[in-house]
Amino acid sequence: MADAAESVNKDMKVFVVDSQAFPPQVSVRRDGPRLSVIYLLLAVALLGVFIEAGFIWHLYSRPTTTSDDQKVEYRKGDNSFSRSPHDFNEVLPAKPPKAESKPAAFLQSASPASGGNGVLHWRTDSFPVFMRGLEYKNNSLYVQQDGHYYIFSKIAHLENCNYFKHQVMQWTERYSSKAIELMQSSRFICVPNNSQWRGNSYLGGVFQLFKGDSVFVKVNNSSQVHSDAYENFFGAFMI
């Protein structure tokens, strides 16, 4: 047995590995490309900040130009775009006339209602009577400005089996020396038992009038006109 063990020991060989015989292992860093991208983005951001700061400094460092300087520079430039104030007025639409500048009048009946010829008299000196841009004389409203006017008249009258006619008349030199009838209302109502009733007649319309024309109100029987001034009125206004 001893001889067998000795022969085995002779056949076994021991190998020793030297660690320095192999080259050292180098660790591979995988974060290198990622850091490069981050550094590039930071550099671009800083460059943008510097550029924006330069623009702001350049904007606020420019000298301010007064209105007089702007006018001088505009005159030195191309005159083909210059326009006079008159040209600008031609472009803008015309302003409509103010309501205060339009002629208007409102009159109430006077006492007596008529002088006997059927033309009614009117008061011009009591509230709410007023007159603007029109002239009242000879129981008529005289036009001072050409235009289209709305003319109106309302008469309260008694209905006692008598014919009643209410007219708005115009006098003008453009047609003839006679008055022209513009509007008319006529009524005939006979109330039984000889009682009296009150009726109302209203006339209104738009007419073209010229300077110097006049309009007035006429009835066929002024004794039938009610005496209350607030129930009888006459007027006109430009539209």
Quick one: 122 and 223 in the same domain? yes
- Cβ atoms of 236 and 150 closer than 8 Å: yes
| Cα three-residue angle 124-211-154, rounded to 5 degrees | 40
CA–CA dist 218, 184 (Å, integer): 9
Q: Pairing between strand 180-187 and 164-171?
A: antiparallel
Quick one: 40 and 150 in the same domain? no
Per-residue pLDDT of the chain (239 residues; tens, 9 = 90+): 555 545 545 555 555 555 555 555 545 455 667 788 888 888 888 888 888 888 788 877 766 555 555 554 445 555 544 455 555 455 556 666 565 689 999 999 998 888 778 999 999 888 899 999 999 999 999 999 999 999 999 999 988 788 999 999 999 988 877 899 999 999 887 766 666 678 899 999 999 999 999 999 999 999 899 888 889 999 999 99
Contacts of 57 (CB under 8 A, 6+ apart): none
pLDDT of residue 97: 58
CA–CA dist 174, 210 (Å, integer): 9
136 within some domain: yes
Quick one: 122 and 210 in the same domain? yes
Quick one: 121 and 223 in the same domain? yes
Largest separation between any pair of C-alpha atoms in the chain: 181
What range does the domain containing 53 cover? 34-63
Quick one: 109 and 193 in the same domain? yes
For residue 125, which amino acid is it?
D
Domain count for the chain, please give it.
2
pLDDT of residue 98: 61
First to last CA, the chain: 149
CA–CA dist 202, 232 (Å, integer): 10
79 within some domain: no
pLDDT of residue 130: 95
CA–CA dist 187, 165 (Å, integer): 7
93 within some domain: no
For tokens 């036009």, name the residue: 143
pLDDT of residue 28: 47
pLDDT of residue 132: 96
173 within some domain: yes
Task: Provide the CATH number for the domain around residue 231.
Answer: 2.60.120.40
CA–CA dist 235, 220 (Å, integer): 20
72 within some domain: no
CB neighbours of residue 88 within 10 Å? 9
41 within some domain: yes
Sign, Cα dihedral of 109, 114, 115, 119: positive
Quick one: 57 and 162 in the same domain? no
Quick one: 143 and 56 in the same domain? no
| H or E, element range at 156 | strand 147-159
Quick one: 51 and 159 in the same domain? no
